[in-house]
Amino acid sequence: MCKRDYRFFVGSNFSLIFTIFIYINSAISLYPQTWISTLPTHLQNSIIWYADAETGNLDQFTYGNNPSAGGGVFNTPLSNPSQAQVTASTGVAHSGNYAFRTEINGAYHEVTRAVRMMRWTDKPWNMGGQYLPSDAYYSTWMYLPHLYDPRQYAPWDTNGDGGWWNVFQFKSYDVNNISQPTFVLNIGRSGGNMRFYLTRIHPTAQTYYPSFTFNIPVGQWFHVEARYVASENPDGLIQIWLNGQLAFDVQNVVTSLPNNPPGTYEHAWGIGNYTDHVVGHPNSDGTAVVYFDDAIISSQRISQVIPETSPALLQIIMLSLFLVIFSKYSGSRRAKS
């Protein structure tokens, strides 16, 4: 087709092309597939547990508040939704119709507020649940609607910790039957950007920084995945990928606390929104909203498919294609007149 023929084709079929564009675009918006259902079969088959929020509630963590759920949602303060809550919410979903929306209020000047969504088994005990495997991958999509700042300053930073904001963590029981964080992925702030750093808390404290600069985007979904090899000996491992790129690679470390009492987990995984100080929300200091969607525990690395073509990206591609065709079409009309 020569250039003239192309212009004639587009010109005479303009309304048809426009109709197809509108149809495909609304089909993508109205009937969204879940992202998990688009994964290659070998990755879908490697899934041990997942939560895509499409039940419209927290059942994928709590199984209807089943006491043997093998996980659950733990908020601080307990039972005060105005200060800490998580819901399955529409409006901002990575895929499907729902995402988990966490919100804390009053986390200001060392007042702790927390939403913790935890798993330590693949399914409830009364459904044949098993503790999580000692070597597995833990992933989620995350979305931060605002540019937050969790840094703390003297004199009110009384313990001098400089601030912390735990959004992704592993825990293990210690000898005193207390569940302790082992490795925590925190959001910090560097200049005008939010950035991740990894802290080892038990059995000894250490901080790790990513191998490349990853500025956490505002108002955009991004992917976090950890491989965790749980071990009571110094041969454990934690690796973390950000949008599919390996950012942390911590080898030969203790990742499960020794001598944990019988009947307690070696390790548990949690995502959430947990800090004692955060500002940046337009309505109120001490408020932070974080969304999670398409959380997965798997035996293979899910983020090997990222970057992928998300529904939002597909819509941008369709819009760009339409604009190119439209500009060529109006160009050819101008040339004729």
In the complex, the residues that contact Ca ion under the rule CB under 5 A are 52-53, 93, 96, 98, 152, 157, 159, 161, 293
Work out the angle between the directed axes of helices 3-12 and 14-30 (0-180°, nearest 10). Answer: 70
**Which residues, other chains included, contact 218 with Cβ-Cβ below 8 Å and sequence gap of 6+?**
144, 145, 146, 147, 194
**Smaller CB separation from Ca ion, 96 or 270:** 96
The CB-of-228 to Ca ion minimum distance in angstroms stands at 24
Give the residue with the Cβ less far from Ca ion, 46 or 140. 140
Report the half-sphere exposure of 11 (CA within 13 A, side-chain side): 15
CB 213 → Ca ion: shortest distance, Å?
26
* Residue nearer to Ca ion on the CB measure, 33 or 45: 33
Q: How far apart are CA 153 and CA 157, in angstroms?
A: 5
Q: What count of Cα atoms within 13 Å lies in the side-chain half-sphere of residue 68?
A: 9
Which C-beta is closer to Ca ion: that of 254 or that of 276?
276
Q: Is the peptide bond before 234 cis (omega within 30 degrees of 0)?
A: no
Residue 54 vs 255, nearer CB to Ca ion: 54
Minimum distance, C-beta of residue 52 to Ca ion, in the bound complex (Å):
4
CB of 12 to Ca ion, least distance (A): 42
Tell me the residue number closest to Ca ion, measured at CB: 96
Nearer to Ca ion, 107 or 247 (CB): 107
Which one, of 102, 96, 106, lies nearest residue 277 by Cα? Answer: 106
Q: How far is the CB of 261 from Ca ion (least distance, A)?
A: 31
> CA-CA-CA-CA torsion for 332, 333, 336, 337, nearest 10 degrees?
-150
**Quick one: which of 39, 34, 29, 28 has its CA closest to 306?**
39
Supply the minimum distance, in Å, between the C-beta of residue 38 and Ca ion.
12
